A = this chain, B = another copy of it.
């Protein structure tokens, strides 16, 4: 059977996906066993949020707009009432001046990154090759397998700021980062999945300026950022600019199943993305866009983001940090990344005597599931930096009891591993 070069490349799965498959199999094999599962990326169904969406969908069913949103084909840039709601939201909040022509809606933001990565980086017709730069590593693993070509992604080791006895923060290593003609596009998530890092306003401005000098777009993934869903626990302002593409999604605002991703930027970037979308998938599904437009315009989505979604994960994070502090042996050289946002807690075990993959296996024996960190370094695949083997990602999407008991078990196992 023939698979093209593109087919073979897109057939490759990331290391994290192999772990996810292993987790699914582990859970399925031992159905009667209770696991302390701190691995899930699927957000929690929050009843208030779910009920809000049900209410708006019922309203749509009672309105003539349903025909347009469900029974008709739409435009390849997105559902216009939703695009307009997005523009109002950002213009109101951040004094931007965006218009319908600055927005494209895709079938999930994963697809948006696919358009961006393959249109703005990769080989040119004359054989030139431009790469995707991740200015800060670790970074979202989902970018890793997006390119239809091989070896198109690079990154640099970050600076590590030790903030306290057991806390640290990654920072872009500006002495190393080069944005020259070999770079096609810069991509970073803010807040960052998996670390919960929020690159500061100053850092992001510096990255944007560096890229602007070479006419390189900077793509900022706002999956967890304010104003929606605002799973962010520190001050941050989305920075707009002529070479900036802001992306966000409604997945963490309670509708991952609706697959709605948005990109906002200069028309010169939006237009080729729209053509890519028109040719490859016509447009994205519209019912979710229609109800989101209503909930954005009424202000309810923003309100519930702050009062319910943000609060839920803030409380989970606080519980996790407290549990770690109370249960991890302070003699273990562990460092929790400053937890500034996302659904995740990232822990670095300095000089861990085993790999994070081996730690994952040991924890599994104790019915505790985590995600080993080594899959979250896109662009650093060929760097044998030991740090990549010393981290784990914990998801705050399970019950309080499971978070507490899971973390206790992690503390115990890691203590044994260090002999402490």
Which A residues are closer than 8 A to B by beta carbons? 1-8, 10-14, 17, 41-43, 45, 49-50, 53-54, 57-58, 61, 66-74, 106-108, 110-111, 114-115, 118-125, 130, 142, 145-146, 148, 184, 215-217, 251, 254-259, 268-269, 271-272, 275-276, 278-288
Contact = CB atoms under 8 A, between A and B. Distances in A.
Which of A14, A119, A251 has the most B CB atoms < 10 Å from its CB?
A: A119
A4 B110 contact: no
Nearest to A130: B2
Contacts of A74: 257
A8 B69 CA distance: 31
B41 A145 contact: no
A122 B7 contact: yes
A11 B6 CA distance: 18
Contacts of A4: 118-124, 130, 184
A3 B188 CA distance: 20
A107 B286 CA distance: 11
Given A45-B72, A73-B42, A284 B107 contact: yes
Contacts of A72: 42-43, 45, 256-257
Nearest to A4: B122
Contacts of A66: 50, 54
State the copy count for this chain: 2
A368 to B, nearest CB: 22
A146 B71 contact: no
B125 A5 contact: yes
Given A54-B66, A71-B53, A72-B257, A2 B124 contact: yes
A238 to B, nearest CB: 22
Given A275-B12, A281-B111, A1 B215 contact: yes
28 contacts: A1-B268, A3-B120, A4-B120, A4-B130, A6-B122, A7-B120, A10-B115, A10-B272, A12-B275, A17-B278, A42-B73, A54-B66, A57-B57, A68-B257, A69-B257, A71-B255, A71-B257, A73-B251, A107-B107, A107-B108, A107-B285, A108-B283, A111-B280, A114-B281, A146-B279, A258-B287, A259-B281, A259-B284
Contacts of A275: 10-13
Nearest to A268: B1
Closest 10 CB pairs of A and B: A7-B119, A4-B122, A111-B281, A107-B107, A10-B276, A285-B285, A145-B279, A257-B286, A114-B280, A259-B285
Contacts of A286: 257-258
A66 B50 CA distance: 9
A371 to B, nearest CB: 15
Given A2-B184, A11-B275, A285-B288, 15 more contacts: A3-B124, A4-B122, A7-B272, A71-B255, A73-B257, A106-B281, A107-B285, A110-B280, A114-B280, A114-B281, A259-B281, A259-B284, A259-B285, A287-B287, A287-B288
A281 B11 contact: no
